[in-house]
Structure 1
Amino acid sequence: MRILCLGDSIMQYNDFSAFPQTGWVQELARFFPETTEWLNFARNGRSTKSFIDEGRFARVMKEAEEGDFALIQFAHNDEKSADPARYTSAEKGCAFRKNLSFFVRELRSKGVKPVLLTPMARRMFENGKIKNSHGQYPQAIIETAAEENVPCIDMTALTMNLLSAEGEEKSRRFYMNFDSALYENFPEGRSDNSHLRPEGAHAFSRLAAAEIKKIAEKFPEYKELSDFCMSNCGGRFLEVSGENSEIDDEFTVFQK
């Protein structure tokens, strides 16, 4: 079984040079058999718009094969209204929803089964309560999935619930938010409440895996995906981005 991953830096594969930053699907591989192949096209800073404009989706379509599954998760960069190269509106009839529908329909035309996911919550607390920083985007994804009749995993709600249960201080360990002299790659520390460390990637992927396991109850054509999830686990990764590391500005926008 092959799983294609379309998204931004929260999903992206990270090598040793970015450690401890970890894309959450790197940990999701732990919940699948070692025979599962992961083609991770996610990349720092991409929105649905830039993913298309830069030719990354064309690359996905070139590699996609009948019988593949695809995990599609955007919003962090579509939200950036000050950046016309990436911004898309989540309003009905606007680009964000149209781009998601385009991904779904094009992938389906090649026999790929797509799954839409709402974005991971940022660690943003207000008066001790977790805050939704994603505005209308999660609902836009949920509604688009319903219109296209594809599975949707509401990771925004799931991760917000987890962060709320963990609390503001304890949940810090999930994110690239840490003191100096802890990691060689970041000797001065980091104050980033968007990107994940291994513990956060694992905690969030565990939530996703539980939902993937149930997908076939409503979408029987996804039975292989559900059956493979949490069965004979220990996956491997094929990282296909093939480019040099880039600096991502996400953490500079959403700091605590």
Structure 2
Amino acid sequence: MASAVADLAAAGVASPRVDAEVLAAHVLGIPRGRLLLVDSLRPEELSRFTALVAERVKRIPLQHLLGTAAFRHLELQVGDGVFVPRPETELLAGWAIEHTRPGATVVDLCSGSGAIALAVADEAGPGRVVAVERSPAALAWLRRNAEPYPAVEVLPGDVTDPGLLAGLRGRVDVVLCNPPYVPDGTAVPPEVAEHDPAEAVFGGPDGLEVVRPVIALAAALLRPGGVVGIEHDDVHGEAVPELLRADGRFTAVTAHDDLTGRPRYATARRT
């Protein structure tokens, strides 16, 4: 274990001990907390563990090696072609769950793996969740993850299309979106640069190219009193709330920080 941690640290992995322990637990098929009870690995287990560590040293995402990403109470299947959900997005999902009444209609735009949509379906008891995704590769993962949730409808679509979801105009209770929002040219870790789809990460020169049409679409979809929540880059703590105010169809615009105190998402209510 010590040599694995050292190799991961030398490769620039941010959490080398955690990653090594997670990979060891994965190989053994046990919870990470039970590793203290393990004295040694059998030869075949050690070989598999060593191979996984070598892949992680290459900065292949931990979640790709595991085949799943943890998100709130979910284990989502992820891999090439879909954005790996991040822990900070659990905050937006939690806000959404708190604001989704039983039987509500929810729309999750730029759904990716389905993390937000499925967390809401899993915890809030909505009547209908529409998960919209443009990328064919991401759609395959989204459909796979959504299979156990009959309330979730997966829809191919581009959130910049003003005609998207025309049949739901004025009928939606909650609109959510974790769009591509990193400004073009921003340096990102190898796990992101080489494995997350660029179209799910970068949002144009200022990072807001997708956020702007999402705000307009949310205003059209929401019923009066319905709510919207949009995740954004930490440089957008003022810009996204201002875009919501400037639209003119929202009230109660609120900026929210993540657990590190960085701006992370904005919410508003339809007038």
Larger Rg: 2
Shared fold, TM over 0.5? no
Q: Which has the higher contact order (CA 8 A, sep 6+)?
A: 1
Provide the TM-score with structure 2 as the length reference. Answer: 0.36
